[in-house]
């Protein structure tokens, strides 16, 4: 299990009171874990701080609404972790 996933799972568990054992890489943050949109903002805030990034939530939402991406691309945890890794790599490349 990647360390990014471990960090994300810990944040979700602490922020949204979801048992850690329920948080799996294939879990959908909203459909499977019962996290609502405001809870997700708290998670994004914590992840922004932990990883020193700014998760482009508005851009992701726009892409989903425009059909350029699926909800799974960003809200299934293993995909969310991959996006976070990309953002961290981009930040470190600067």
Partner 1 sequence: MRLEYFDLIDKVDELDLEGSKIKISSRLPDRSPVFDGHFPNFPILPGVMMLEMMNHAAGYLLYRRFMGERFVFLGGVKRAKFRRMVRPGDTVEVRAHLTHEGSGFSIAETTLTSGGATAADAEIILISQEFPNPEIKAALARHSETLTQPAEA
* Binding-site ranges for partner 1 (CB under 8 A): 38, 41-42, 44-45, 48-49, 54-59, 61
Phi (first) and psi of residue 28, to 5 degrees: -90, 125
- Shortest spacing between CB 48 and partner 1, in angstroms: 5
For residue 39, the number of C-alpha atoms closer than 13 Å in the C-beta half-sphere is: 14
CB-nearer residue toward partner 1: 25 or 56: 56
CB-nearer residue toward partner 1: 7 or 61: 61
Paired tokens of 7: 């960090």
Give the span between the Cα atoms of 27 and 78, in whole angstroms.
8
- Shortest spacing between CB 56 and partner 1, in angstroms: 5
Please answer whether residues 69 and 35 qualify as being in contact, where contact means their C-beta atoms are separated by less than 8 angstroms. no
- Shortest spacing between CB 60 and partner 1, in angstroms: 8
- Shortest spacing between CB 79 and partner 1, in angstroms: 17
Give the span between the Cα atoms of 34 and 28, in whole angstroms.
9
CB-nearer residue toward partner 1: 33 or 43: 43
């Amino acid at each position: 299990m990647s360390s990014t996933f471990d960090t994300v799972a810990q944040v979700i568990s602490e922020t949204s009171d979801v048992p850690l054992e329920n948080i799996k890489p294939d879990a959908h943050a909203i459909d499977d874990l019962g996290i609502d949109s405001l809870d997700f903002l708290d998670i994004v805030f914590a992840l922004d701080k932990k990883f020193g990034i700014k998760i482009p939530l508005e851009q992701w939402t726009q892409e989903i609404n425009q059909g350029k991406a699926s909800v799974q691309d960003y809200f299934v945890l293993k995909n969310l972790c991959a996006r976070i890794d990309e953002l961290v790599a981009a930040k470190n490349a600067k």
